[in-house]
Amino acid sequence: MTPQIAFTLIVLMVSLVVMAVQRLRPELTALLVTLALIIAGILSPTEAFSAFGQPVIIIVPTIFIIGKALNDTGVAAIVARQLLRVGNKSRATLMLSIMLTAGLLSAVLSSLLVIAALLPAVVRIAKRAKLAPSQLLLPLAAAATMGSLLTLIGTVSNLVASDALIVSGGQALGFFSLTLYGVASLGLVIAWYLLTGKRLLRRLMPAEAPKPSLEEVERSYRMTGQLYRLRVRSASDLIGYPLGNSDLSEAYHLNVIAVQSEDGKTRPARPDSFLEQDDLLIVDGPRGNIFQAAARHALEAKSRVSLDEFNLLEDEELRLAEVMVPFRSRLVGKTLAQTRFREQYGLNVLAVHRQNRPIRQNLPHLRLNPGDTLLLQGPATCIKRVGNDLNLIQVTDLGPETGDLVTRKASLTAAILGIMLLLVVSGALSLATASLAATLALILSGCITLDRAYQSIDWRTIIVIGGMFPLAIALEKTGAAQLIAQWMIGLAPSIGSTGTLLLLYFFSALVTQVVSNAVTVALIVPIAVSLATAQSMSPQPFVIAVAIAATASYLTPITNADNLLIRRAGQYTMRDYLINGLPIFILQTAVVMVILPV
C-alpha cells in the first residue's frame, strides 16, 4: 500500500467519523477534506476544484429555485390540498399517501425532481396538520430514494450499472430487473415509518412567530358558519343599484364583505359597488336574517364560507387582520358610523372582541372602548394606514402567507415543470440542462424573481457536495479502490459466493457515503464483475447488489441529494438520518441477501 493510498483511506474514514459525531458542520468538513487532499499532494488544485464543475452543482440549486417557484405560485398548495384530501383521516394515512406518491413517481422520474415538486407541498401539509415538517420529510426522501429502484430508469446509477455491465462483457439489465428489490425496499420503508420510525422522528417545530389559525379566530368571534354566498338572480331588485342604497345592513343586520363577479374576480364590497346578475355576495350575519333577505331580494343561498376559505381568495384587497384600540386612539368613545370608517378607509369590521365577549350585531353604531379588538377585512395598505391615522395597534396579520394563494402564474409554473420532466424522461436533455432551462424560464416569465431565486438556494448544501467530490477522485487516482478490489478477490474463495456478495454490498454502501451513487457504481461494477468471474458465476447478481447498495447513501446527508434537499426544512442533524437509516439499511440488506441468490 502506497502512502497516497493510505492517506486517502485515512481521510475517508476520518471524514465519516467527523460527520457522524457532528463536531464540525458538514460544509466545513467537506472543505477541510478538499484542502487536505491538495496539501498532501494527492490532487492538484485544478483537480480538486474541478468537482465544483460537476453537473450536480447546477442541478441542486436549480431544484431549490424550482421548488420555491412551485411554492410561491401556489402549485404546492394545490398538491397539498389533494394529498390532504386523501390522507386527512390520520397522520398514518397522511404519511402513507405521501410516501406512496413519492415512491411511485420516482420509478420514472429523478427522485430529486419528485422531492422538489413535493417538498413545499409537504411542508404546507405539516403546517396545516400542526405537525413538525421533520415528521414527514424524512419519510418522503426515503420513499423517493427506494422508489428509484422500481425501474431501470429510476436513477442514473441504475443506468450506469447496466452500461458498466455491458462494457465488462455481461448482459444489460432489463427495465424491471430491479423491480422486485424496489417493491421490497419501498414496502420496508413504508412499514418502518408507519410502525416504528415515526416515534424516532424529531418533533421540533420551525421557529416562527406564533399566529392563531383562522379556525381559532372563527371560534373566538363566534363566526363559525356565519359567512354565506348569495347569488344575485335575474329577478333581484338589487341589480343596477349601489350596494349602499340597499337595506341589507339596516333592515337585516347583514355585513356584505365581498362581491364575486361571474368571471371569478372578487372585490371588496363598497357602498358605491353596483351589483349585476349572477354576482356572488359574501355576507356575514345571522342565518335567519340571511334567508329572509335572500327571499326578499331574489337572492339564492349557495353555500357557507369558512374564514379560511375566504382568506384564500386571490385578491390583495381581501386581507384579514386584528387591530386593538388603545387609550390614545381617536376611536375611543366613537362609533364606526361617526368616523365613516368603511367609507374613508375601505375596510370592513367583521366583529369586535370586548372583554372575552364577541360582538357582531349593530357594529356601525357600537361605541368603541379602550382594549377592544377589531377583526378587519380589506387591503393591506388600508389596514396599515388606518393604524397610523387612528393610532390603532395591529395585533395579528391574518392574511395568507406566500404560497397560500393559487396565483395566476401557477398554471405557467406547472407547465414549465411539465415540459422539463418530459425533456428529461424522453432523453432530449440531461437533468442539468433541463433544470437550468426551467429555472431561467421561471425567472424570465416572472414566476419567481431573481432575488427570491437567490434566497431559495441553500449554499451550504452546494459546498458539501462540491467539497466531498475530490475524495472520489482521490480514491480512483491513487488506486485505493483497485487495492480494495484485489483484497476482496483474495477473500472470495474462503467466504463463498454469499459471503462475497455481502462483502461487496457493504463495501459499496460504505463508498456511497462519500461518493455519489453514479460514481460509486462506475467504480465498483468492474470489481463486481471480477469477483463473479473469479467464482465462475453470473455477474448480474453482483452488479445488482452494487446498484442497490449505492442507494444506501440515504444513511447520511453527505452525498444523498434527496437528504440534502430536506435537511434545512426538516432541521435534521446527522443523528436523525442514522437512527432511522441504519435500521432500514440492516433490514434491507437482509431482504436483498435472501432474494439475490434466488
Task: List, for residues 467-488, the tens digit of each pLDDT value.
Answer: 767 776 777 678 776 677 677 7
Retrieve residue 568's grid coordinates: 434545512
197: how many CB neighbours lie within 10 A of its CB?
21
Inter-residue contact 267 to 315 (CB < 8 Å)? yes
Q: What is the pLDDT of residue 16?
A: 67
Would you say residue 181 has pLDDT above 90? Answer: yes
C-alpha 568: how far from chain center = 11
β pairing state of 280-284 and 255-260? antiparallel
Largest CA distance in the chain: 97
What pLDDT digit, counting tens, does each position of 118-143 carry? Answer: 887 788 788 777 788 889 999 999 99
In the three-class reduction of DSSP (H, G, I as helix; E, B as strand; rest coil), residue 149 is classed as coil
In the three-class reduction of DSSP (H, G, I as helix; E, B as strand; rest coil), residue 323 is classed as strand
Angstrom CA distances, 290 to 2, 258, 351, 383, stand at 88, 15, 17, 28
Would you say residue 585 has pLDDT above 90? Answer: yes
Task: pLDDT band for 321, please (50, 70, 90 cuts).
Answer: confident
Task: pLDDT band for 496, please (50, 70, 90 cuts).
Answer: confident
Q: What is the pLDDT of residue 105?
A: 82
Task: pLDDT band for 589, please (50, 70, 90 cuts).
Answer: very high
Q: What is the pLDDT of residue 312?
A: 60
Angstrom CA distances, 330 to 62, 338, 343, 365, stand at 52, 11, 17, 16
Ordered domains of the chain (ranges, CATH): 3-206+418-595 (no CATH), 214-311 (3.30.70.1450), 319-397 (3.30.70.1450)
C-alpha 334: how far from chain center = 48
Q: What is the pLDDT of residue 548?
A: 92
**Average confidence (pLDDT) over 145-163:** 79
Per-residue buried b or exposed e for 290-321, using 16+ beta carbons within 10 Å of the residue's own CB: beebbeebebebeeebebbebbbbbeebbbbb
Supply the DSSP string of 263-280, one letter for each residue: TS-EEE--TTPBB-TT-E
Lowest mean pLDDT among 177-181, 567-571, 585-589: 567-571
Inter-residue contact 497 to 592 (CB < 8 Å)? no
How far is 341 from 346, CA to CA, in rounded Å?
7
What pLDDT digit, counting tens, does each position of 269-313 carry? Answer: 777 788 888 888 888 888 888 888 888 899 988 888 877 666 666
Q: Is the Cα dihedral 102, 106, 111, 114 positive or negative?
A: negative
Q: What is the pLDDT of residue 535?
A: 77
Q: What is the pLDDT of residue 437?
A: 92
What pLDDT digit, counting tens, does each position of 327-378 carry? Answer: 888 888 888 888 888 778 878 888 899 988 888 877 888 899 998 999 888 7
Retrieve residue 542's grid coordinates: 453482483
Q: What is the pLDDT of residue 402?
A: 63
How far is 373 from 323, CA to CA, in rounded Å?
6
Q: What is the pLDDT of residue 190?
A: 95
Lowest mean pLDDT among 177-191, 399-413, 543-557: 399-413
**Average confidence (pLDDT) over 506-525:** 77
How far is 516 from 513, CA to CA, in rounded Å?
8
What pLDDT digit, counting tens, does each position of 403-459 carry? Answer: 566 778 888 988 998 888 788 778 788 777 888 899 999 999 998 899 888 888 877
Lowest mean pLDDT among 172-176, 196-200, 352-356: 172-176
Retrieve residue 133's grid coordinates: 415538517
Would you say residue 380 has pLDDT above 80? Answer: no
Greater confidence, 505 or 515?
505
Q: What is the pLDDT of residue 587?
A: 94
71: how many CB neighbours lie within 10 A of its CB?
23
Q: What is the pLDDT of residue 213?
A: 64
pTM value surpassing 0.85: no
Greater confidence, 558 or 439?
439
What pLDDT digit, counting tens, does each position of 38-55 carry? Answer: 898 888 888 888 767 767
Lowest mean pLDDT among 10-24, 32-46, 57-71: 10-24
Q: What average pLDDT is seen over the chain?
A: 81
Task: pLDDT band for 208, please (50, 70, 90 cuts).
Answer: low
C-alpha 572: how far from chain center = 15
